[in-house]
Amino acid sequence: MTGSCKWIRAEGLIEFSVHERIARIALNRPDKRNALSHALVEQLRQALLEADDRTDVNVVIIEGRGRDFCAGYDLMGTYGGGTDIGAPDPKLYRTRGETLDDDCWQLERTQEALMFTFDAHKPVIAKVHGNCLAGGTDLALGCDIVIAADDARIGFPATRANGNPPNHWWVYHCGPQWAKRLLFTGDVVSGHDAARLGLVLDAVPADQLDGEVDELARRISLVDSELLAAHKRTVNLALELAGARTLQRMSAEQDARAHQSRGPRRTQFRKDIAEKGLKEALVNRDAPFGDGRAHLRARG
């Protein structure tokens, strides 16, 4: 990290730097494909707050170290019923989803942290490469602008057996039919097709992604932060008038409701995790869907 940091208290799971009015926040769990644990989400929130507070920052880039932007929530940590390293005594606090209200409460706390990309005064760009799945889309699609590599994989396969996206930006980016198409099946789209759908702003060859995002961030950073905040908050208010903030609350509650499902696919997935481990549970969940890709044909 460069310079002093007012808000960031814990380090390691993210990298933070500032150079020429651009803050860079990198998810730094490459061995876990940058899966979102509670600790990582909290450090990300602190880094975003740091960037939004600093007078030497006009724009923020969020990216991932290693092969992926973010492969989802950490199903082997508290999201999957386990315990994050350093977590407080569970007997003193709400359960991790044993009741509907506890589940809603936990989902809402994570949602608040990820919503800071939307609530921050400064523009936030998501630079997506590799896998951007499940929780990775909760993070990326809440950013102001998403630029992806052509070969990135973007989707929410967890809708096949796990739940509903607790942060729902899909309908605002690609419309109701494609939102339903992708969530009904859990299929993913390439970065190239995501740009055709409007799910991301643009997609470029992977070897050009750094340069494309850097140049866009440079151009944005030339504008005074007060002006950028006025533009961002005006557009965001339009989204709020279209129900975006209310939908986030409802989506978290729908995710908690979906977690109560006793349907065969969810029941089998939970059993597979307990008996065979996460890797085999994911293979069994996804096998009936073949390559798991949604292919666009009618568009040029």
- DSSP for 130-143, written as a single string: SEEETHHHHHHTTS
**Is the model's pLDDT at 60 over the cut of 90?**
yes
**Is the model's pLDDT at 61 over the cut of 70?**
yes
pLDDT digits (tens, 9 = 90+) for 85-124: 555 666 788 877 788 999 999 899 999 999 999 999 999 9
**Is the model's pLDDT at 297 over the cut of 60?**
yes
**Is the model's pLDDT at 300 over the cut of 90?**
no
Q: Which of the two residues, 80 and 66, has the higher pLDDT score? A: 66
What is the residue type of 276?
Answer: K
Q: Which of the two residues, 86 and 271, has the higher pLDDT score? A: 271
Tokens of 203: 């997609």
DSSP state, residue 121: S
> d(Cα 206, Cα 75) in Å, to the nearest integer?
28
pTM for the model:
0.91
- Highest mean pLDDT among 79-83, 161-165, 229-233 belongs to 229-233
Interval 264-285 mean pLDDT: 92
Looking at residue 78, its pLDDT comes to 46
Give the dihedral sign, CA 17/142/148/157.
positive
CATH topology of domain 14-289: 2-enoyl-CoA Hydratase; Chain A, domain 1 (3.90.226)
> d(Cα 61, Cα 57) in Å, to the nearest integer?
11
Looking at residue 126, its pLDDT comes to 98
Q: Rounded to an integer, what is the distance from CA 21 to the centroid of its chain?
A: 24
**Is the model's pLDDT at 84 over the cut of 70?**
no
Say which residue the tokens 């940590």 belong to.
77
pLDDT digits (tens, 9 = 90+) for 188-220: 999 999 999 999 999 999 999 999 999 999 999
Interval 269-286 mean pLDDT: 92
Looking at residue 87, its pLDDT comes to 57
In which band, very low, low, confident or very high, does the pLDDT at 4 lie, cut at 50, 70 and 90? low
Looking at residue 92, its pLDDT comes to 83
Looking at residue 120, its pLDDT comes to 97
Interval 132-151 mean pLDDT: 98
> d(Cα 137, Cα 147) in Å, to the nearest integer?
13
DSSP state, residue 178: H
- Boundaries of every domain in the chain: 14-289
Interval 25-35 mean pLDDT: 96
Interval 48-77 mean pLDDT: 95
How deeply is 240 buried, as exposed, middle or buried, from its count of CB atoms within 10 A (0-12, 13-18, 19+)? middle
Looking at residue 7, its pLDDT comes to 58
Contact between 131 and 158 under an 8 Å Cβ cutoff? The reply is no
